[in-house]
Amino acid sequence: MTADASPAPALDRIRVGSAPDSWGVWFPDDDQQVPWQRFLDEVTEAGYEWIELGPYGYLPTDPARLTEETGRRGLTVSAGTVFTSLHRGPEVWDATWEHVSQVAELTRAMNAKHLVVIPSFWRDDKTAELIEPPTLTAEQWRHLSTGMERLGREVRERFGLDIVVHPHADTHIDTEENVARFLDATDHDLVNLCLDTGHYAYCGGDSVKLIETYGERIGYLHLKQVDPEILADVVKNEVPFGPAVQRGVMCEPPNGVPELGPVLTAAQNLDVDLFAIVEQDMYPCPPGQPFPIAERTRRFLRSCGA
């Protein structure tokens, strides 16, 4: 559906928001990123009411201050985000939990209910240097699945949050095969998925098929598209994710794939409330670039009924 098409039926189970990622924010502090105050001002002006915390430390970490800053702009937090390397085994648990606890505490204080869990990269996203093998051993798959189940249990018991694991380019949970293997190896009561439509397409997956096949495991959405021509070159030349983003592989909707209308309809058909958070990877980008894209994307999603 194009932005000027007739309005679609209302997707009343989908709550649309945005995130610092759509403003080119990948790190807690970076001179190439817009200040957090500007992000909050512009995400509000673009028409969004829900946001994610982004990298821990980008937004204020004092709950009282963050509550005041978001509240006066009419914004509500939907989730926090953590990075994990649980495939490396029990020896990384303590360091992982220290990081997770910090983010989960702020997430809970902001009355959000989700923690987005991103697996660690297997190659550097800037240099393409291999950090570790791109394929896990059977033992590492067991560490990953049991570690995520433990994380889901501990986060729920201690913070009242649900974890949603984010398949991501250049991580071990990426392709249709690996996502299915991960889901089949983990307990639905403890571990569900944050389906990022752009990353899943980047890795060759079909988001609508995944929603229709594993609907009970879809706990959260990130809305994103990829430019198929740039992606073809990225795949052909094995370009790492960071440089691929700098080439514009993640593009403004509705100019890429997957088509978001059918994805949202499939998600609506699950008949559960879902967040659908817009994320367009653009690090680094000129400070004036994100806002007009965010405005146009919000108008486009309204045309889809969201």
pLDDT tens, residue by residue, 24-44 = 999 999 999 999 999 999 999
Residue 5 has pLDDT above 80, yes or no: no
Residue 64 has pLDDT above 70, yes or no: yes
73-85 confidence digits (pLDDT tens) = 999 999 999 999 9
Q: What percent of the chain has pLDDT over 90?
A: 93
Torsions phi, psi for 244 (to 5 deg): -65, -40
Residue 13 has pLDDT above 70, yes or no: yes
177-201 confidence digits (pLDDT tens) = 999 999 999 999 999 999 999 999 9
End-to-end CA distance of the chain: 13
pTM, to two decimals? 0.95
Tell me the pLDDT of the chain averaged across its residues: 95
pLDDT at 2: 47
- DSSP state at residue 5: S
- DSSP state at residue 233: H
Q: Give the residue carrying structure tokens 């990877």.
A: 281
Question: Could you tell me where the DSSP H helices lie in the chain?
Answer: 36-45, 63-71, 93-109, 138-159, 176-185, 197-202, 207-213, 228-236, 241-246, 260-268, 290-303
Residue 238 has pLDDT above 60, yes or no: yes
- 296 band by pLDDT with thresholds 50, 70 and 90: very high
132-163 confidence digits (pLDDT tens) = 999 999 999 999 999 999 999 999 999 999 99
pLDDT at 179: 98
CB 222 within 8 A of CB 279: yes
**Residue whose C-alpha is closest to residue 219's, from 21, 12, 15, 10:** 15
pLDDT at 124: 79
Residue 260 has pLDDT above 50, yes or no: yes
Which is higher by pLDDT, 271 or 127? 271
pLDDT at 294: 98
